[in-house]
Amino acid sequence: MALLEEESHRDALQAAWLEYQKARKRFETVYREHAKERPALFENLSGNTVEPLYGPDEKRSDPTYYLAKIGFPGEYPYTRGVHESMYRGRLWTMRMFAGFGTAEDTNRRFRYLIEQGEGGLSTAFDMPTLMGYDSDDPHSVGEVGREGVAVDSLEDMEQLFDGIDLDQVSTSMTINGPAAIVWAMYLALAEKRGIAWEKLRGTTQNDILKEYIAQKEWIFPPEPSMKLVTDTIEFASQHVPQWNPVSISGYHIREAGSTAVQELAFTLADGFAYVEAALRRGLDVDAFAPRLSFFFNSHLDFFEEIAKLRAARRIWATRMRDRYGAKDPRSWKLRTHVQTAGCSLTAQQPEVNIIRTTTEALAAVLGGCQSLHTNSMDEVLSLPTEKAVRIALRTQQVLAYETGVTHTVDPLAGSYYVEALTDRMEEQAKAYFDKIEEQGGVLACIENGFFQREIADAAYRYQREIEQGERIIVGVNAFTEGNEESIERLKIDPSVERRQIERVKAVRQKRDGWAVQKALEEVQRAARASENLMPALIAAVRVYATEGEIVEALKQVYGTYQERAVI
Amino acid sequence: MERRPIRILIGKVGLDGHDRGAKVLARGLRDAGMEVIYSGLWQTPESLVRMALQEDVDVIGISILSGAHMTIFPRVHDELVRRHAEEILVIGGGIIPPEDAQALIQDKHAAAIFAPGESIETIAGWIREHVPGQRQALKDGA
Amino acid sequence: MNQIDAQHLLSRARAGEVRALARAISIVENREEGRAQLLWAAQQAYGTAFRIGLTGAPGSGKSSLSDALIEVLRNEGRRVAVLAVDPSSPFTGGALLGDRVRMSRHAEDDGVFIRSMSSRGALGGLSRAAWETLLLFDAASFDVVLVETVGVGQSELEVRDVCDLPSCQPRSGDIVQMMKAGIMEIADLFVINKADLPGADRMMAAVRELIQISSTNHGVRPNLLKSIAVQGEGISILWKTLWERYQMMQTDQTLQQKRKQQWAAHVRKAAEEELLRRFQEFLERNKQLLRWTEARDEERSSFDTTIQTLVDAFIHSSTP
């Protein structure tokens, strides 16, 4: 009897699907014959065609599909989010990037942001620091303290976090090539203040692969650079358990002009490359994988960005479990910071950038990010002013407290469009993984210029679409205004460079030169012996060896690197 | 008989590695029929000018997003003067506020500064318009 | 520009004035006024630089190899010029020249001169201007000249026409291409760069086998070497091998012979181009001939007779 019932139920279902398909065909015919369409490019930013209408299909309506591919929040494969209650439990961290001038200037900005209710500190360093040069190096002329804070030695780190309790904040440091050295300074500072490393929370970006792929801020050749990253992963897993040693970043890949699909694929490929390097080092996957975190971009194509984050979580979980044998669910969870797309902002009518940033931030929230940075409207013109930063932070607060989008978990799940998009992005990312593997892996693809060429092609395509008017950018190729009033801009005090140079010179004067010499020799010895460099680095910064000196010592062992031109 | 395409050196000076704009422009100018030489990252004003001389370019285009433009453009200009090549046109782009752009042009440290979002067509048009005069000036001077 | 101006420009180039040499190259490349005088002046000084050709597919690491070779040569105090040739776009005539990026550490060295050149539509990948530029490098008294071309296609065939010692850097997967393109007969030396990559040993073996079955060049088999250019490994040996072969060619007169042949080939090619240019000018002047051609009935007139008539008309017009 039960069997019969089941059968008739199945028949009824079958009939309903047939009915639906007929209706759908009818609609499509009507649409083709009668519907009017604007002469616009119905393509998302990855160049994929978007259908006029998405609807239910048999595959996705099957509960087994739901269980395998979507699941529940906080459960494998985490398509719907890494926590059970998501923003009902805890809002995302509103993390704003800050850093300019000297350490004192940034320290003041940090304290201001803490007063404004910000949950985490995010540090931007100046170009010389990012490239491993001291402020008094000839390469640094004109760039000290401009794009971020200058950190030459432990003394600057002490100033930077003056009056801030290191065990009370979560600190993110956006630095890559010399990340191990700057992290060593942070650890040495904690040690000096008697704070146990176990209590430190934060993230070093430390994602060197995307530097070769997109941002171009590397110091050493790819292989020793990978070794340094692996050193930090190993050291964190043993001594600084709450630290995220690498923030695997798609943000810069996107800013360099990639599509959303490329951002997704290349970032995850980088992530897997770090996992494989750590496994080769002999680490247990569950000892380090839970501390790997991500950093994605959120661009203007609203649904595509949401789908990207959902697909990223699913791919990461699946591969970590099935390919790398991770058993701890924390290793399966892709936790991510998101920043709205700087490259989507325009110099024309800069106030309009507030609106762009708002939709991008909403996409990040609906995509389930763990922390979020919203760009200031004036970032395409200069470093942001305090007012512009405040508006950007308020944008997040409005989304969090006024819009109600936080009331339920993953509200867009089950949207025919979003689920179809999520699946398609996953497929396209996997096709890229295959291509990368065929060419010998991520390092080989960096060396042969594969990533760089893919990105340059996409960037050029995007530019042409704008120039030919196929893609409308408000204020740039449509709705332009002739005479634009200028907005207020932040000016960097030109004396910053001089003061910082004096400071690093003074440090060199008063420290124990002999101890520094010994420490640098030890760094070189450890590098030649392929030991984990962290202990030697911490010892060196402790005696006030400067970043530039340590980098120079390492260059003598590792050499430097110039990429092949991919234009 | 004479067939002389416009030659331009697209350069990245200083530590900033953001090369998206430089590369997009390089491609765009190639497609506009120019011979584009790309310098690669991290040039100094001295190395950039030396490249420009070796390549005998009509124009140097510098992309700067690090805020160091007020240091870099004058240094490139000084180097050009030192090497008696100040008739090479220097143009710039990147994150350069309008008042800085104005100052650079006024002080003759740059012939033109293009704002973010400026189309390649505009830039190519500007170059096509200004190179013939510059070449004539060079001939007259020689 | 008269002969004296040309000589003056070249002597400034010889004195190391970067701009003088650069202008001279442009004049030759663009066929500007003064080209003939410059080339004649350059010819007087012809024949001192060792010209090495470097070919290989994009990504094989030519520029890295050049970069590493420059380093070794500079340590020996030799002055080096590099000519990096890249194809131009067949549609717009524009070109993207990025080879010098990998050599940028030599950007501030007075003893190194790097020039990028677009093929400007030259079928073989190397334009006449490339050969003529080598004459100028000679005249500017460089010790070694490196000529980089893209490879696979037809350009390697021409590298032989401008260089004393063409070399090739095969990339994995190129073997069949190389055989098709006739590379084995052209290159005097093969370098397996990126020798640390997996598969490099297999490449070595495959190329070695090809060398053994291919015919010898003046009785000397091509050399096979490996390098890791980015780390500077294998470069000293590469240079030593190149130099030894060069000296051998000088001793047994093959160098002089080769340069004579190149000279003759160049003259012939230039003459062909000149002839073509004059023919085009002739047609331009005699538009009625083109109209006559168009008027001929496709179905009744012979293809060959039509061609013959056109060519004869040209020949008669140029022999008064």
pLDDT mean across residues, chain A = 93
Structural domain count, chain B: 1
The ipTM value here is: 0.93
Q: Establish if C204 belongs to a structural domain.
A: yes
Q: How far apart are CA A442 and CA A453, in angstroms?
A: 14
Token duo for residue B78: 């000084």
Which of A176-185, A330-339, C179-188 is the least confident region? Answer: C179-188
Q: What is the pLDDT of residues C62-96, one digit of tens each?
A: 888 999 999 999 999 999 999 998 888 877 888 99
Residues A402 and A371 sit within 8 Å (Cβ to Cβ): no
What is the 3-class SS of A189-226, one letter each residue? HHHHCCCCHHHCEEEECCCHHHHHHHHCCCCCCHHHHH
A440 with C198: Cβ contact below 8 A = yes
Q: Cβ atoms within 10 A of the Cβ of A465, count?
A: 18
Question: What is the chain B residue with the closest CA to C1?
Answer: B142
Q: What is the pLDDT of residues A272-283, one digit of tens each?
A: 999 999 999 999
| A209-236 mean pLDDT | 96
pLDDT of residue B2: 52
Question: What is the chain C residue with the closest CA to A447?
Answer: C59
pLDDT of residue C219: 65
Which CATH number fits the domain that encloses residue C205? 3.40.50.300
pLDDT mean across residues, chain B = 92
Q: What is the pLDDT of residues A51-93, one digit of tens each?
A: 999 999 888 988 999 999 999 999 999 999 999 999 999 999 8
Res. B9: pLDDT tops 90: yes
Q: How far apart are CA C160 and CA A110, in angstroms?
A: 65
Q: How far apart are CA A440 and CA A431, in angstroms?
A: 15
* Listed ranges C193-197, C228-232, C285-289; the one with the highest mean pLDDT: C285-289
Continuous segment of H or E residues that includes residue A97: strand A93-98
Which CATH number fits the domain that encloses residue B24? 3.40.50.280
Structural domain count, chain C: 3
| A409-438 mean pLDDT | 97
Interface-testing mutation among B9, B12, B13, B20, with chain A (most A C-beta atoms within 10 A): B20
**More confident site: A23 or A98:** A23
Token duo for residue C161: 């026409």
Q: Does A439 touch chain C (CB under 8 A)?
A: no
Please enumerate in sequence order all residues whose Cβ is within 8 A of that of A508, keeping only pairs 6 or more positions apart, or say none.
A546
Question: What is the chain A residue with the closest CA to B14?
Answer: A139
Please say which residue of C204, C225, C251 terminates a domain.
Answer: C251
Q: To 5 degrees, how large is the angle CA B115–CA B116–CA B121?
A: 80
Q: Does C148 touch chain A (CB under 8 A)?
A: no
Q: What is the pLDDT of residues A351-370, one digit of tens each?
A: 999 999 999 999 999 999 99
Portion of chain A with pLDDT greater than 70, in percent: 97
pLDDT of residue C104: 85
Site of tokens 């010209």: C51
**More confident site: A494 or A432:** A432
Q: Cβ atoms within 10 A of the Cβ of C228, count?
A: 19
Q: What is the pTM of this model?
A: 0.90
Q: Cβ atoms within 10 A of the Cβ of C253, count?
A: 9
Token duo for residue A143: 């760039």
C104 with A448: Cβ contact below 8 A = no
**CA nearest B19: which of B93, B89, B72?**
B93
Which of A20-24, A119-123, A169-173 is the least confident region? Answer: A119-123
pLDDT of residue C291: 84
In DSSP terms, C165 is beta-bridged to C52
* Listed ranges A509-518, B129-138, C101-110, C296-305; the one with the highest mean pLDDT: A509-518
Residues C71 and C128 in one domain: yes
pLDDT of residue C122: 62
Q: Establish if C33 belongs to a structural domain.
A: yes
Q: Establish if B39 belongs to a structural domain.
A: yes
Distances (CA, A) of B101 to B68, B69, B94, C85: 12, 9, 11, 36
How far from chain centre, in Å, is Cα C10?
21
Q: What is the pLDDT of residues C216-249, one digit of tens each?
A: 555 677 888 888 887 788 999 999 999 999 999 9
Res. A236: pLDDT tops 70: yes
Portion of chain A with pLDDT greater than 90, in percent: 78
| Chains within contact range of chain A (3+ C-beta pairs < 8 Å) | B, C
- Mapped onto helix, strand or coil, the DSSP state of residue C96 is strand
Portion of chain B with pLDDT greater than 90, in percent: 77
Q: How far apart are CA A87 and CA A77, in angstroms?
A: 19
Q: Does A563 touch chain C (CB under 8 A)?
A: yes
B41 with A567: Cβ contact below 8 A = no
Q: How many A×C Cβ pairs under 8 Å?
A: 30
B15 with A467: Cβ contact below 8 A = no
Residue among B14, B24, B41 minimizing CB distance to A143 = B14
Q: Establish if B78 belongs to a structural domain.
A: yes
Residues B123 and B25 sit within 8 Å (Cβ to Cβ): yes
| Chains within contact range of chain C (3+ C-beta pairs < 8 Å) | A, B
Strands A336-340 and A93-98: unpaired
pLDDT mean across residues, chain C = 84
Residues C223 and C185 in one domain: yes
> C121 pLDDT band (50/70/90 cuts)?
low
Token duo for residue A400: 């969090």
Q: Supply the range of the domain harboring residue C237.
A: 46-251
Q: What CATH class does A69-121+150-467 carry? A: alpha beta
CB-neighbour burial class of residue A166 (10 A; exposed 0-12, middle 13-18, buried 19+): middle
Terminal C-alpha separation, chain B:
21
Res. C46: pLDDT tops 70: no
Res. A11: pLDDT tops 70: yes
Residues C55 and C18 in one domain: no
Residues of A in contact with B115 (CB under 8 A): 347-348
Terminal C-alpha separation, chain A:
70
Q: Establish if B2 belongs to a structural domain.
A: no
**CA nearest C133: which of C35, C2, C226?**
C35
Question: What is the chain B residue with the closest CA to A147?
Answer: B66
pLDDT of residue B6: 96
Residue among A221, A449, A567 minimizing CB distance to C96 = A567
Res. B1: pLDDT tops 50: no
Residues of B in contact with C102 (CB under 8 A): 40
Residue among C23, C104, C114 minimizing CB distance to B56 = C23
Q: Supply the range of the domain harboring residue B67.
A: 7-141
Q: How far apart are CA A468 and CA B120, in angstroms?
A: 11
Q: Cβ atoms within 10 A of the Cβ of A34, count?
A: 7
Res. B76: pLDDT tops 70: yes
How far from chain centre, in Å, is Cα A118?
19
